[in-house]
Every structure is written in C-alpha cells, then in structure tokens.
C-alpha cells in the first residue's frame, strides 16, 4: 500500500496516514448548513454507508450528525476493513477551501491510525 505513510507520533508510536485529500460530493451534503463550524483540526466521524444493490458501500464523513461527503471510492475497501476490524481511526479536517461568507467548495480531511485495536 504505497499511499499509506508512516509518521512518528507522541511517545514514538507509529502513526500511519491512510488518507489525506478532498471529500467527494459536497454538493449533496449538509455542508451549506454548517460550513461556519468547519475549521482545520475539527474532528469528523467516519461511517460505512451501504449502497444500493448495484453500488458498493461508501465511507461517509459526518460532523455532529451532518453529512459532509464521501472519501474517494479507491480508499473505501481499506478504510471499511479497518473500521470493521475495530481499529481507531482519527479523522480531522485539514483544509477548508471557500470564499468569505460562502459555503465550502472543498473539504480536505486526514485519516490516521496508530494501529491500536479496540
């Protein structure tokens, strides 16, 4: 898995960066209603959302119950497997791209794990 990068965290624990990039489909989310609460460092929750019978499951990012968007489909199998195995994934907003007084055009998130199982 080339796209995972290892970082050295507090107490020399190995931290693996699983994803760092934009969320998809912001236009179908609740971002317009809550964009003023979204800042770099804000923690978001990841959930596996089952698709219809013709689509694959997707990983959705939520902030306090509001849907923000999906991580790209290429990362879904790995992230879904880590979630289902009980790994503690930490996901934060890295960057909010928007014009003043307008909703976010792009949200970049970071997903990391210290590979500690529940």
Max mean pLDDT among 23-32, 62-71, 98-107 falls in 62-71
Question: Is residue 90 within 8 Å of 18, Cβ to Cβ?
Answer: no
CB atoms within 10 A of CB 23: 23
Region 17-117: CATH code:
3.30.70.2330
Q: What is the CA radius of gyration of the chain?
A: 15
Report pLDDT for 115: 56
How far is it, in rounded angstroms, from Cα 62 to Cα 30?
Answer: 9
Please say if the pLDDT value at position 106 is more than 90. yes
Residues in the chain: 118
Please say if the pLDDT value at position 13 is more than 70. no
Higher pLDDT residue, 89 or 9?
89
């Amino acid at each position: 898995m080339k796209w995972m990068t290892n970082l050295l965290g507090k107490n020399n624990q190995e931290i693996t960066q699983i994803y760092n990039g934009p969320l998809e489909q912001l236009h179908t989310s609740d971002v317009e209603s809550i964009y003023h609460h979204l800042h770099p460092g804000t923690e978001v929750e990841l959930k596996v959302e089952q698709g219809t019978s013709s689509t694959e499951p997707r990983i959705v990012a939520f902030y306090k119950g509001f849907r923000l968007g999906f991580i790209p489909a290429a990362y879904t199998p790995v992230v879904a497997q880590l979630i289902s195995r009980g790994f503690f994934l930490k996901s934060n907003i890295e960057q909010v791209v928007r014009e003043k007084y307008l909703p976010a055009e792009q949200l970049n998130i970071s997903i990391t794990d210290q590979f500690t199982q529940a």
